[in-house]
Amino acid sequence: MTATWSVNKKIFLQNAITVKNNQPLMAVVKNNAYHYDLEFAVTQFIHAGIDTFSTTSLREAIQIRQLAPDATIFLMNAVYEFDLVREHQIHMTLPSLTYYYNHKNDLAGIHVHLEFENLLHRSGFKDLNEIKEVLKDHHHNQNAKMIISGLWTHFGYADEFDVSDYNVERSQWMEIVEALLSEGYQFDLIHAQNSASFYREGQILLPHHTHARVGIALYGSRPYSSLNQHDIVQSLTVKAHVIQVREVQAGDYCGYSFAFEVTKNNTKLAVVDIGYGDGILRTRAKHEALING
């Protein structure tokens, strides 16, 4: 029998409610909801009181629209299928000046969120001046045009505690937000916090923000190891059969790269029918497993 994984629906839902902490969340459901199944995750998150979702795939965004007709759906990667984005009322990132000027007319009627690149340097406007350039050009555009609904960034260092980078990127971002708001610009959605940032801030939103954009915590994974393991509860169980029991002696090594050293003679070693093909990586070595658990 092959390895199986199962999700406890009750635990999954309760964890989502606990993580939400009565705060407005944008649930990240990219990559088939981290392979928990998109339909399952969206349905449970709706039960938990979440009505805003984000993904990196237009195909998934359209699936979410079919599952949640009234939800706000944000596409974190810019695409070029503008008619589909409009048809399904998907919000989308605006990632650069070049993209804006090249597709200003194509974006007419589409809700966009202005993206600040911050320290991650992966995508987004480089600074406040670039953001304001778009805002001013948009204001003077008399043709059919996009709808600027949001402002966002991504924190790349929120799970790093030995360096100051999170404080730096947080500070730079807040300066952008406060500068724009002080000049009278308004946004329906402002979001930056990932799971790590959300928990570092005590499970509350940063000032002026409308949502935290939370992913892995909603699925039961702690964003950093020092977080209390009872704060986020995993609903996933992976099971496989023991296919051999072998006897090994003190001084023997078992597993790849001497992963386990035997310290007692006549030690019984269970060989379990699970591995790479089932998504269990070598980084999971030296973790506990239950036999007949």
Which residues are identified as catalytic?
30, 256
Phi, then psi, of 145 in degrees rounded to 5: -145, 170
Neighbours of 83 (CB within 10 A): 9
Tell me the CA distances in angstroms from 89 to 1, 75, 109, one per residue in order. 44, 11, 9
Tell me the CA distances in angstroms from 13 to 18, 69, 203, 225, 239, one per residue in order. 9, 21, 17, 22, 21
| Closest alpha carbon to 91 in 145, 24, 150 | 150
Distance CA 278, CA 258 (A): 22
CB-based contacts of 154: which residues, under 8 Å, 6+ apart?
Answer: 118, 120, 122, 192, 194
Contact 10, 48 (CB under 8 A): no
Contact 272, 250 (CB under 8 A): no
CA atoms 137, 121, 111, 99: torsion sign: positive
